[in-house]
Each structure stands twice: as structure tokens, then as C-alpha cells.
Chain A
Amino acid sequence: MSNEVLHAHAEAITVHGDHHEHHHQETFISKYVFSQDHKMIAKQFLITGMVWAVLGGLMSVLFRLQLGYPDAHFTWLEDILGKWWVKDGRITPEAYYALVTTHGTVLVFFVLTAGLSGTFANFLIPLQIGARDMASPFMNMLSYWFFFTASIVMISSMFVETGPFSGGWTAYPPLSALGSASPGSKTGMDLWLIAMALFVVSSLLGGLNYIATVLNMRTKGMSMTRLPLTIWALFFTAVLGVLSFPVLFSGFILLIFDRNFGTSFYLSDIYVNGVGALQNEGGSAILYQHLFWFLGHPEVYIILLPAMGMVSEILSTNARKPIFGYMAMVGSMFAIAVLAFLVWAHHMFVTGLNPFLGSVFVLLTLLIAVPSAIKVFNWLTTLWKGNIRFTPGMLFAIGFVSLFISGGLTGIYVGNSALDIHLHDTYFVIAHFHIVMGVASMFGMFAGIYHWFPKMYGRYLNNTLAYIHFWVTLVGAYLIFWPMHYEGLAGMPRRYYDYSTWESFKQFADLNRFISIVAMIVFATQILFLFNFFYSIFKGRIVTKQNPWNSNTLEWTTPIRPGHGNWPGEIPEVHRWAYDYGKDGKEFIPQTTPVGAEESQH
């Protein structure tokens, strides 16, 4: 397609703009299944992500049962799940490891990467930059269907005879490379690798599209420095993904060769019980860790950045104040994106890493605290003396800030190699990353859902249920993960099946039971949220205001239920940034309002 053709056609659209939606007949399949409308694809990502969140959450409830009640016998579970998973009323060790592994993989990649950035990048990028759709709607659709296929493959691994992969979400060799080393490393691992490879393809297709769209398809007047922070965040997220997922992929390829073609990239001098000494020589298991964490660390920011962006947007909108330090926010996201590539070895302090090299990584790691602190400062100053509306979205956004502070602080502990020698692979790390990444990003996601649900479905979520959801989840998250810091400081290792047999950790029996109980309550509360979500899609209070939150951004200038193409007429032109709240005595000034002559500059 040449530019000239595009131009000619573009003019044709503006002329007949108001009835373009009737141009093509939409069938059920093209509207709901193989849709190329970014809004529908966003919903597909969201709902698939939710299904995964429920499954992944359920897995954690199951292994928390084991940790909280190591001596109990839940015979009824055996009837539900079958002998492989539960024997004699106890989760079997194989099942325990399978659950922990799948929980981690699914939550990190399928829920918080695909479910979070897949949903909101798709939904918000075209709407907030003023585009009719993505640069390539077709690739966008492919991105979802690759994710869907990955999901199916991952689910199917739950049903193979030897069980799903059970070597931890990081899939370190040699365990992951040798089928003879553990039942979970047989077919389950093959399926895990296939699912992850498909997932990487999906992320790349999505990411390329998001970047191209943000850079090329902004409406008139929407300069980069007028972009809402959500878009900046989603943009950096996509850049991180496009640059780091291929490296993970190369790590996987070498792993596949080691598993199936007898190479020794990661294997050397191994003795497997019952099999004997292996022939493999010359490989290095640490090599995999380098390749994995080169993605792995950017990945945690891939998860967090979209949440940061949405939170900035929601805080500013609901505090009725401009975001504090817009350029500092963009700059710190840029700094985070750059530093994210330079710190991966902080996951490897105890692998025999050269201590001098280790200290370089300590320095770079602690540097991330600077942009992180800038962001926190800006969020707090945005809230400061704001005229705050405590909508559910706002509450979750504030909760995000709280969690990010708590979890970021423990990052400084583990970021010091001297301390990390003690803390590595203990519950302290579990607490650190669940608070700063897991729960915080979940809160960002909830904030986004509550805030943009009216735009997605033309209805409101129920507020009472939302408030219950918020408070139980916030308090519950702290009750679950805060005590884990103490367990970790006491040296309690992660990924063990049963701590009650250890003299040093017997003291935590009650605490572990407490954590398990809270985890179940929090899980039940998420079901409440799901009920609210699906009920409100059909029966929620109908949105009658085009701009229910009195927000400045472009998505609220579309019709309440926008069709394919988003704006029925011409795409509006943008005249200002997105954060003119409370300016010159006006409560809010949408981006589409031209700058008045007597207006003060921002």
C-alpha cells in the first residue's frame, strides 16, 4: 500500500466518516471471535487473563493447604482432583511442585503480562492517542490467538500422565533439561516450552504493534509530550518486551536442544539417581540463568510499568489535580527501562558470580531505587491536598502506591549482595516480589478495570462490592506477605514441601496456617469481584454520561459504546496535555479544548 493510496482513501473516510461503521457486515465470528477491533481483542485478553487468574489463584490455595496444614488429610480433595494430585488426603510432593511452578508461570506471564498489558495496551492505546485501531489489526488478532493457543497447551500439560512441569517458573536446568531427573521434566516440560514459545510470539506481535501505533498513529496535535502517562508506560513496556523476549527465546532454544538433541549447552558432569552418570560434558547451567534473567528482570517491569501508567492517570483524574512532574514521570520510566537491562545478575549473586562483578550489579540495582523513588514522590505529591474522589479505581491506585513502597523497600535489602547471600531463596524474596510485583500490579489492573469498565461495557460495576473487594484484598495481601519477611529473615527457604519436619521452622506452623487461611479468604473475595464483573456486564447500572469521571483524555470523547473505528466522525484534534485539572478555576479541561487566549501556561 503506498502512502498516496492511503491519503486518497483517508480523505474518502473523512467525507463519509459518520457512516463508516455500516461498511462491513459483522458476523458473530468476526465480531466476537476473530475480531480485529482492538476493543474486542482487549476484552478477549482480559477475560482469558481472568480465567488464568482464577486457575492460578486456585493452585496457590491448594499448595497453601499443604503449607498451612501439613498433617491434615483432605480426602474429599482426592475425589475432586484424583490420585496423581492428592494421595491419602495430602497434596503429593510431585503435585506440590507442579502447582508452585504452574502458579508462577501462569501468574507472571499469562495473567500479569498478557492479561494486564495485553488488555490495556489494546484498549487504551488507540483510544487515548486518537486512532481508529492498531497499526495492524490483523497482527493484533494473531497476537491474541497465539496467546490463546499457548493457554490451551499450558492447560493440556495439567492432564498428561507424568504431570505438568514442576521445576519452578524460572525452569533452571539441569532439572528442566533432563526428563530422567523428575517426572515433571518429561512431557510436562515439553508442553511448557511449547506454550512459552507461543507466548513469546504473541508478545512480540503485540509489542511491535503497540510501538508502531504509538509512534505513527497519533491524532493531530497529540505530540509525544502530550501523551497520557498510560501510553508512555505501555510504550516502554512494549519496547522492553520486544528487546528481551527474543533473548529468553534463545535460552529456550538451547534448552530444547539439550532436552531433545543430546547437546550439552547447560549440562556437564551430572549424575542422576537410578540412571547413572550422564555423558554430557562442557555445558554450564549458569548460562541459562544469564539468558533467563536477561529477560526475567525486564519482565518484572513489563508487568509493573502498565500498572504504574494507569495508576498515574487514575490518581490525577480522581485527585482533580495535574500529575506532579509529568516529564520526571516519563524520564523515570525511561531510566527504569534502561536500567532494567543492566541488573539481571542480581538474581545470581550466589551462583559463584565474581564478587567484583557482583558489586557492579549491586550498584546498578540500587540505582533503580532512584527513578522508583521519583515516581513514588510524584504520586504522593499528586495526591497531596487533592480534592480526592474515592472511587474504587482510585482506592486501588492508592493501594498500588502503598504496595509499591513496601515492596520497593525490601528490594533494597535483596539488592545488596552481602544481605542477599542470607536472603536468597528464602521467603523474604517471596514476600518482596509478591508485594512489589504480584499484588501491586494486580492492584494496578483492578484500578484499570474499575476505571475503564464504563468505557468497555457501557455500564458501571457495583460500588459496594468493589469496596469490599478493595479492603479485603489490601488488608489480606499485607497479612499474607508481611509475615513472610520474618520467615525469610529466619532463613526459611522457599519451594519446600513441608516445613514441619525442620526443627528451626516448626515455630512457624501457626503463622503458616494463618497465612493459608487469609489466602483462602482473599481468594474468595476475588470470586466476589468476578461476580461483580460478569454481572455488571449484563445488569450493571447503565452509563448515561459520556465522560463519567470528568476526565481529560480522548477515550471519553467517543460515544458511550464506541463502534469499530472508535469515533463516528472525524478523530478529534488535541490541543493540550492530559492533566489540566483544576486549572484557572476550571475543574477539568479535556485535551480537545483549544487553548484560550487568556489561559495560563502549564
Chain B
Amino acid sequence: MSQNISINSIPTASLSSRNKIHPQKFMLWMGIGSICMMFAGLTSAYIVKRNQGNWLEFDIPVYFWYSTLVIMLSSITIQFAVKAFKERAMQKYKALVTITAILGIVFSYLQWIGFSFLNNHGIQLIGRGSNPAASFLFVIMLLHIVHVIGGVMALLIIFFKAFSSKIKTYSSISIELAATYWHFVDLLWIYLFIFFYLIK
């Protein structure tokens, strides 16, 4: 562990002098704020466009209800994973992280099924003749899926790092960061879901 820390990454004087928020956690929060701005931009664009007319109204397919359940479940499993790590129940931790990652993929898959359902029922998402209402839904949800996949990758990296290195790490920071991010994409989805459910 210690050789991983290079001299310059250490806030020497400050950490010893004050009890500040952890820099990496802080950066994650900032990054989350930044992602929020992106989706805020997109959903406000949606509202602005909707108010200008020529807007296609359609119902959200039921698959998005299922995916909502799946991603909420995954938030619970990752929370238990953090707990397991802190209790050093490594087998349990391994299992929970794996389940979480799988749930993330299942979520993305269900979203994709939802897209095809729309496409097969006359709601064209992109391409010639598509209406912005459907394109917006597709692009915004697609971007959200990208963020979920990003979370899955982060989980995988943490997972393999924790078990491949010879040095035992007792720091739970990586998994905590991943969990925070995971809860965030979960909440982000719930926001988007309610948004698309209410504002058609």
C-alpha cells in the first residue's frame, strides 16, 4: 500500500491540521453535481421542447417498472456489500458485489427491452420520422445506462484489485465511493422515471 502513495498525493499539512472531508469522496460529490447538471440540462430541454408543441404522447412500457425494481434492489445489495467489507466477511462481500454488478447489467438489459418494445409498437425512437418526444426518452435513458455501465466497471475494477494484490487492504474507501455512486445512479433513475411518467 505504502508504495502506492506518492509524495505529491498527500495533503500533508492540511490533513493533520484539520478534519476535512476526504478529497476523493469530495471529488465524487462534485462529479455527481456535474452529472446532475447534464441531466438537468436535458430534462429542461425536454420540457421546453414539449411546450412548443408537435409532441408525441405515449405511455411508458411496463419494463421500466421492472428495471426500477431491479436497480433499487441493487442499491440494497451494494449497501450490504459495504457492510460485509467493513465486517471483513470477504466471501459475503464477494457475493454481494457480484450480485450488484449483475443487477446493474440486468437493469441495462431491461431498459433495452423497453426501448425495443416502444419501437415495435409504433413509437420510433430515432431515425427518420421519429418524434423528439421519443428521441428524448431514448437519449436521456441511454445516457443513464452509460452511467450505470460505468458503475459496473468500477465495481469490477475494485473487485479484482481487492483480490489480486498481495497486500491486504483494510481501507473501505473504494467500495464506499462505488456505493455512493451506485446510489446516485439509482436515485437519478428514479428521478428520470417519475419525470417521464408524469410529464408526457
Q: Which residues of A contact B55 (CB under 8 A)?
A: 282
* Alpha-carbon gap, A301 to B131, bound state (A): 36
B122 at the interface (CB under 8 A from A): no
Chain B, 8-24, CB within 8 A of any chain A CB = 8-17, 20-24
Q: Which residues of B contact A265 (CB under 8 A)?
A: 45, 49, 132, 135-136
Partner of B30, one of A10, A131, A133, A211: A211
Across the interface, do A243 and B5 meet the contact criterion of CB distance under 8 Å?
no
Q: Which residues of A contact B37 (CB under 8 A)?
A: 242-244, 246-247
Closest to B139 in A: A257
Across the interface, do A287 and B48 meet the contact criterion of CB distance under 8 Å?
yes
Give A1-36 as 1s and 0s: 1 = Cβ < 8 Å from B's Cβ atoms: 111011101110110000010011000000000001
Taking A247-B40, A282-B131 as contacts, is the C-beta distance between A208 and B13 under 8 angstroms? no
A216 at the interface (CB under 8 A from B): yes
Across the interface, do B15 and A10 meet the contact criterion of CB distance under 8 Å?
yes
* Alpha-carbon gap, A247 to B21, bound state (A): 27
Across the interface, do B16 and A23 meet the contact criterion of CB distance under 8 Å?
no
* Alpha-carbon gap, A375 to B165, bound state (A): 54
**Count of chain A residues with a beta carbon within 8 Å of a chain B beta carbon:** 69
Taking A217-B23, A281-B54 as contacts, is the C-beta distance between A6 and B10 under 8 angstroms? yes
Partner of B8, one of A9, A204, A242, A565: A565
A215 at the interface (CB under 8 A from B): yes
* Alpha-carbon gap, A317 to B48, bound state (A): 49
B120 at the interface (CB under 8 A from A): no
* Alpha-carbon gap, A6 to B5, bound state (A): 9
CB distance from B28 to the nearest CB of A (A): 9
Most-contacted residue by chain B among A3, A216, A279 (CB, 10 A): A216
Most-contacted residue by chain B among A7, A11, A208 (CB, 10 A): A208
Closest to B129 in A: A279
* Alpha-carbon gap, A291 to B20, bound state (A): 35
Taking A132-B12, A290-B45 as contacts, is the C-beta distance between A5 and B5 under 8 angstroms? yes
Partner of A212, one of B16, B27, B129: B27
Closest to B22 in A: A3
Across the interface, do B10 and A262 meet the contact criterion of CB distance under 8 Å?
no
Partner of B35, one of A36, A131, A246, A257: A246
A95 at the interface (CB under 8 A from B): no
Q: Which residues of B contact A246 (CB under 8 A)?
A: 34-35, 37-38, 41
Across the interface, do A215 and B5 meet the contact criterion of CB distance under 8 Å?
no
Q: Which residues of A contact B23 (CB under 8 A)?
A: 135-136, 212, 216-217
* Alpha-carbon gap, A218 to B31, bound state (A): 21
Across the interface, do A212 and B30 meet the contact criterion of CB distance under 8 Å?
yes
Partner of B132, one of A247, A249, A251, A283: A283
B163 at the interface (CB under 8 A from A): no
Taking A212-B30, A215-B20, A290-B45 as contacts, is the C-beta distance between A37 and B14 under 8 angstroms? no
Across the interface, do B34 and A133 meet the contact criterion of CB distance under 8 Å?
no
Across the interface, do A10 and B16 meet the contact criterion of CB distance under 8 Å?
yes
Closest to B135 in A: A263
B126 at the interface (CB under 8 A from A): yes
Give A188-221 as 1s and 0s: 1 = Cβ < 8 Å from B's Cβ atoms: 0000000000000000100011011001111110
* Alpha-carbon gap, A504 to B30, bound state (A): 53
A564 at the interface (CB under 8 A from B): yes
How many residue pairs link A and B with beta carbons under 8 A? The number is 186
Across the interface, do B7 and A257 meet the contact criterion of CB distance under 8 Å?
no
CB distance from B190 to the nearest CB of A (A): 20
B26 at the interface (CB under 8 A from A): yes
Q: Which residues of B contact A284 (CB under 8 A)?
A: 48-49, 52
Partner of B11, one of A2, A135, A209, A268: A135
B170 at the interface (CB under 8 A from A): yes
Chain A, 233-254, CB within 8 A of any chain B CB = 242-247, 249-251, 253-254
Taking A216-B26, A242-B34, A291-B41 as contacts, is the C-beta distance between A279 and B128 under 8 angstroms? yes
Q: Which residues of A contact B199 (CB under 8 A)?
A: none
* Alpha-carbon gap, A145 to B72, bound state (A): 37
Partner of B15, one of A7, A249, A282, A570: A7
B62 at the interface (CB under 8 A from A): no
Across the interface, do A204 and B27 meet the contact criterion of CB distance under 8 Å?
no
Across the interface, do A282 and B45 meet the contact criterion of CB distance under 8 Å?
no
* Alpha-carbon gap, A558 to B37, bound state (A): 39
Q: Which residues of A contact B173 (CB under 8 A)?
A: 1-2
* Alpha-carbon gap, A215 to B20, bound state (A): 9
Give A116-141 as 1s and 0s: 1 = Cβ < 8 Å from B's Cβ atoms: 00000000000000111111111100
Closest to A572 in B: B13
* Alpha-carbon gap, A283 to B10, bound state (A): 50
Q: Which residues of A contact B31 (CB under 8 A)?
A: 204, 208
Partner of A132, one of B7, B33, B38: B7
Partner of A282, one of B21, B24, B132, B171: B132
Across the interface, do A137 and B9 meet the contact criterion of CB distance under 8 Å?
yes
* Alpha-carbon gap, A209 to B27, bound state (A): 7
B91 at the interface (CB under 8 A from A): no
* Alpha-carbon gap, A291 to B44, bound state (A): 9
* Alpha-carbon gap, A254 to B44, bound state (A): 13
Most-contacted residue by chain B among A139, A212, A242 (CB, 10 A): A212
A264 at the interface (CB under 8 A from B): yes
Most-contacted residue by chain B among A1, A37, A208, A211 (CB, 10 A): A1
* Alpha-carbon gap, A291 to B21, bound state (A): 33
B2 at the interface (CB under 8 A from A): yes
Give B167-198 as 1s and 0s: 1 = Cβ < 8 Å from A's Cβ atoms: 00011110000000000000000000000000
Across the interface, do B12 and A10 meet the contact criterion of CB distance under 8 Å?
yes
B164 at the interface (CB under 8 A from A): no
Partner of B12, one of A14, A249, A287: A14
B130 at the interface (CB under 8 A from A): yes
* Alpha-carbon gap, A212 to B26, bound state (A): 7
* Alpha-carbon gap, A590 to B135, bound state (A): 59
Across the interface, do A133 and B12 meet the contact criterion of CB distance under 8 Å?
no
Across the interface, do A24 and B128 meet the contact criterion of CB distance under 8 Å?
no
CB distance from A541 to the nearest CB of B (A): 30
Give B78-98 as 1s and 0s: 1 = Cβ < 8 Å from A's Cβ atoms: 000000000000000000000
Q: List 24 A-B contacts (CB under 8 A).
A: A1-B171, A5-B2, A6-B11, A11-B16, A132-B7, A135-B11, A135-B26, A135-B27, A137-B8, A217-B23, A218-B14, A243-B34, A244-B37, A253-B42, A253-B139, A254-B45, A262-B130, A263-B139, A264-B131, A281-B131, A282-B55, A284-B48, A287-B45, A287-B49
Q: Which 5 A-B pairs have the closest CB atoms?
A: A246-B38, A133-B8, A247-B41, A282-B54, A262-B127
Can you name 20 extra interface pairs (CB under 8 A) apart from A7-B15, A215-B26, A251-B45? A7-B16, A9-B5, A37-B8, A132-B10, A135-B23, A135-B26, A137-B8, A137-B9, A204-B31, A242-B34, A245-B34, A247-B41, A253-B143, A257-B126, A257-B135, A264-B135, A279-B128, A282-B131, A564-B7, A570-B13
- The interface of chain A, by Cβ under 8 A from chain B, is 1-3, 5-7, 9-11, 13-14, 20, 23-24, 36-37, 130-139, 204, 208-209, 211-212, 215-220, 242-247, 249-251, 253-254, 257, 261-265, 268, 279, 281-284, 287, 290-291, 294, 564-565, 570-571, 573
- The interface of chain B, by Cβ under 8 A from chain A, is 1-2, 5-17, 20-24, 26-27, 30-31, 33-35, 37-42, 45, 48-49, 52, 54-56, 126-133, 135-136, 139, 143, 170-173
